[in-house]
Chain A
Amino acid sequence: MKATSEEVQTRVKKLFEDGSIGHFIGYETGSDSLRVTPCFLKSGQAASRLVWNPLCANNLSKYLLDFKNVEGKVGIMVKGCDSRSVVELLKENQIDRDKVFIVGVPCSGIVDREKLLEVLGVSPGEVVAVEDDGDAFVVTLKEGKQRVDKEKALRGECLVCKYPTPVVYDVLLGEAVSSLPWVGDDYSLIKEQEALSSEEKALYWNRELSQCIRCYACRNICPVCTCSECIFDKKAPRWITKANDVSENLVYHLVRAFHVAGKCIDCGECERACPMNIPLRSLNKKVEKDLLELFDYTAGIDVEQQPPLTTYKAGDLDDFL
């Protein structure tokens, strides 16, 4: 059985009552029926605000960085992908495992708001609620209910998700989900891009990245972008200028992709946040594929396993030397 909002509320209330946590980071209903928003609680009284449904896209784990110096434990709600970024934060000692209480929720896919609205052909105001029902989302509209096949309305990262159940947690609400039926070759799109010539790749990325407005939403939302001062914000030296042109944009995105190499767990938050609809996940996915092929490494699984680019082994590849 899937966890319900009520189960989350009851459990969180109890965690506050028995002193397990002093803070909680979860989701609450947003400003329309197709949005949720992060919710920060200091006591169990307001736990009734919490929700858990297929709209809970935000990866909340980045907010743990803001709770490093608080009294008591911080409770947090994580899906499969979010738990993997928690693993990465633990690897980097960004957070202390003893100060975090992880409420895991197995996830069967998150709604892509725009896709869903397009399939339904309605405006957001028509939607009352969205529920998970196996291979479909059941959407309650102002007039009637509709079933929408998940494959038509899932977020891109959910279509290739191999870890629907959290890999680290203190308590798991709802039954574990071992695999998602629609997940096939998670690198099919990357393989298509790899087949392009260098010129075609340059053309493609120059076109995409010329649309970047450098709002830094992709960086700021990224749960594994944890530097207290980002290289791109540094005044001296200035590595890139604030001028928006495609060469500066390219430097920004490529450096970022390499900087999160081995840490990116494909939660898709960068792409979700991007107002310009730039397919940012494909940059990270390419790096992820290379790391898997070259180092047999997958991020966000095991706290003991260090990212290949931050470690050295005598047997590491050196055929490029």
Chain B
Amino acid sequence: MVKQTKSRIIEKNRLTELLDKLAHDYHLIAPVRDNNVSFRRVESGSEVTLDYINTVLSPKNAFFPQTETLFRFSRDDSRGFGIEEQDDEADREQVIFGIRPCDARSLRLMDMVFNGQYKDSYYLNRREKTTLIGLACFDPAETCFCPTFGIDPASGEDVDILFSDIGDRYLVEASTEKGAALLDRFAEFFAELRGDEEQLREARKAGLAGMKKLDVKAIADKMAPLYEGDYWDSIGMKCLGCGICTYLCPTCHCFDIADVSLDEGGERFRCWDSCMFPEFTLMASGENPRPNRKARVQQRFFHKLKYFHDRNGELACVGCGRCIKYCPVNIDITQIIEDVTSGKAGNE
């Protein structure tokens, strides 16, 4: 980490060319508009869209893919079978362009899981080989509430380089050595500051006024007594038990591991799993400790607002608002947080 930030500007009309170069030299992952805007591998700058508040899927896929082969196995005449490590894809240097500050913070939370007591080499390898180029948020959605978790949507705290759209150009700030090195490597695209950048940025920050900021200071303690009681009844009743909230969540990290075997061999893979699905806790005996939607919905909020905090000292939410925006039955985590902190939840 360098304390000193390195600041430059890039003219807007040179961005596509820069992205072309990045795509050439790195595995570049950036927002692409298809049926919706999502992070994808891009081959050229022209594929990238900048017209989005946030993507539907968070960029967690780039570190913790929805489906990931751990290794392959095959029959082998001499020894019976052989194992082949599946690592070719993971060794590339990648750049993520356009990550929002909330999603960048979520990686810090995921690190607590994958770089905690157990080191997850698959995740950590990708994390180490990735340079994050963030895009400051000046026009948040109404479902956004990242300031609740101490996140500044205009800051580059959790990225290597932050781009801030200040009109005709981007203010470009590197806050890590990795970021500064990348700026040096592509120095031809960047120019010295003209002097009015800070002022232009401050003006754009006006769009952040009035963002939802909830008081979550004591929420983990306030959750504890809600383990029993009726509060979750009506929420569980509404819940469809689908995986939208967990799969779109940038901090949800549960996975399953399974084998696929064919005659001549197969592979072991891991894939996202969701605590909203009944099989998530189904035991071989047929017993299911979370037998209904209420129990599962309750678990999700307890994990986010209490258990993760008990274990890691942080809440497992970054206020990106995806679960609110996409829930087909309008279960809204901000309403739940407010019910819990105001004491309303305990009185139901």
Contacts and interface: CB of A to CB of B under 8 A. Distances in A.
Interface string B1-42: 000000000000000000000000000000000111010000
30 contacts: A30-B332, A31-B330, A31-B332, A32-B142, A36-B330, A37-B330, A63-B237, A125-B142, A211-B34, A211-B35, A211-B38, A214-B243, A215-B244, A216-B277, A217-B240, A217-B243, A217-B328, A233-B278, A233-B279, A241-B260, A242-B67, A242-B271, A242-B273, A243-B269, A244-B66, A273-B328, A276-B35, A276-B36, A277-B35, A277-B36
Nearest to B66: A244
Given A31-B335, A66-B237, A243 B35 contact: no
A245 B331 CA distance: 29
Given A32-B142, A217-B240, A275 B248 contact: yes
Closest 3 CB pairs of A and B: A215-B243, A217-B242, A277-B35
B52 to A, nearest CB: 13
Contacts of B78: none
B56 interface: yes
Interface string B236-277: 011011111001100000001010100000000101111001
Nearest to B142: A125
Contacts of B332: 30-31
Contacts of B328: 58, 217, 221, 269, 272-273
Given A244-B66, A273-B328, A38 B279 contact: no
Q: Taking each of B38, B66, B324, B330, which has the highest tally of chain A beta carbons within 10 Å of its own beta carbon?
A: B330
Contacts, number: 98
Contacts of A40: 234, 237-238
Nearest to B239: A220
B256 to A, nearest CB: 6
Nearest to B241: A220
A244 B57 CA distance: 14
A35 B328 CA distance: 10
A72 to B, nearest CB: 17
A52 to B, nearest CB: 16
Interface residues of B, number: 41
Contact of B334 (A31, A125, A216): A31
Contacts of A216: 242-243, 277
A30 B330 contact: yes
Contacts of B56: 275-276
B326 A275 contact: yes
A242 B256 contact: yes
Interface of B: 34-36, 38, 56-57, 66-67, 141-142, 234, 237-238, 240-244, 247-248, 256, 258, 260, 269, 271-274, 277-279, 282, 324, 326, 328-332, 334-335
Contacts of A217: 240, 242-244, 328
Contact of A37 (B238, B243, B260, B272): B238
Given A215-B244, A245-B67, 12 more contacts: A30-B330, A37-B331, A123-B141, A124-B142, A214-B243, A215-B243, A220-B240, A241-B269, A242-B258, A242-B273, A243-B269, A244-B67
Q: Taking each of B244, B273, B332, which has the highest tally of chain A beta carbons within 10 Å of its own beta carbon?
A: B244
Contacts of B329: 37-38, 58
A241 B269 CA distance: 10
Contacts of B278: 233
A161 to B, nearest CB: 19
Nearest to B238: A38
Contacts of A63: 237
Contacts of B330: 30-31, 35-37
B35 A208 contact: yes
Interface in A256-288: 269, 272-273, 275-278
Contacts of A213: 57, 66, 243, 247
Main secondary structure of the interface of A (DSSP, over half): loop
Given A37-B330, A213-B57, A221-B328, A275 B244 contact: yes
Nearest to A210: B34
A219 B244 CA distance: 12
Contacts of A38: 237-238, 329
Contacts of B272: 244
Contacts of B234: 40
Q: Taking each of B35, B273, B274, B334, which has the highest tally of chain A beta carbons within 10 Å of its own beta carbon?
A: B35
Interface string A55-68: 00010000100100
Contacts of A243: 67, 258, 260, 269, 271
B244 A273 contact: yes
A234 to B, nearest CB: 9
Contacts of B237: 38, 40, 63, 66
Contacts of A235: 279, 282
Nearest to A275: B326
A85 B331 CA distance: 24
Nearest to A38: B238
B244 to A, nearest CB: 5
Contacts of A31: 324, 330, 332, 334-335
A235 B67 CA distance: 18
